[in-house]
Amino acid sequence: MKSDNQRPIWRSTTILSVRKDGVVALGGDGQVSYGNTIMKSDTKKIRWMLDKRVLVGFAGSTADAFALMERFETKLKDYPGNMPRAATELARDWRTDRILRKLEAMMITVDAESSLLISGQGDVVQPTDGIVGIGSGGNFAVAAAKAMIKHTDLSASEIVREALTIASDIDVYTNSNLIVEEIPCTK
């Protein structure tokens, strides 16, 4: 029997969000890996919520992410128009609830005003530069996006797509089957 540290790990994804020129874009790849095996290449890890006013992207265990997204959607309905409060309430529940604490996933949530990273440690982080990434290729995608935002005229969606493509060239747990969505910003 394999111990916990010898079991194959579900690894999945790269999610990236960029705010630029009045638009926020959120994108992700489609690969789900189990250990060193690609289980699926076209998973949709970006979801619309609240009548297409909020976008959510997830990385980690898919089942755990869906459980968290359901809870987040409930929080959004409890605090309509206040995504940061909904995210804070979800993070608090996630950190303090015995069952939720075991969930292995992270989320990026965006709306017209905010971009937030939500983690199971109770973190709700809003990036100062409007660029945030999660998942196994998240740091690669963030680095690429930071370089592009300063040195190109690409749109937010184009930067997300290009940065995710770069991450897919480096990270074996990220593929180039990309989905990118966008929301017009109010700020």
Across 146-163, average pLDDT: 96
Strand order in the sheet with 105-110: 46-49, 54-60, 105-110, 115-118, 124-125
Q: What residue spans of the chain are helical by DSSP H?
A: 62-78, 83-96, 138-151, 156-170
The answer to whether 13 and 173 have CB atoms below 8 angstroms apart is: yes
User: Is 124 in a helix, a strand, or coil?
Assistant: strand
Q: Averaged over 103-108, what is the pLDDT? A: 83
Could you report the per-residue pLDDT of 49-92, keeping only the tens digit for each?
999 999 999 988 777 778 888 989 999 999 988 999 999 999 88
Average pLDDT over residues 118-142: 92
Identify which has the larger pLDDT, 99 or 57.
57
What pLDDT band is residue 2 in, cutting at 50, 70 and 90?
very low
From the list 58, 19, 96, 68, the residue with the least C-alpha distance to 179 is 58
Sign of the four-CA dihedral 142, 129, 20, 124: positive
Q: Is 13 among the residues known to form the active site?
A: yes
User: Stretch 136-145: mean pLDDT, rounded?
Assistant: 95
Domain borders along the chain are 10-181
Q: Are 86 and 76 in contact (CB under 8 A)?
A: yes
| pLDDT score recorded for residue 5 | 54
**pTM, to two decimals:** 0.91
Lowest mean pLDDT among 118-127, 160-169, 176-185: 118-127
Instruction: Evaluate whether the domain defined by 10-181 bears CATH number 3.40.50.720.
Output: no
pLDDT of residue 67: 81
Question: What is the pLDDT, as a whole number, of residue 6?
Answer: 54
* Share above pLDDT 70 across residues of the chain, in percent, rounded to a whole number: 90
Selecting among 13, 14, 43, 62, the annotated active-site residue is 13
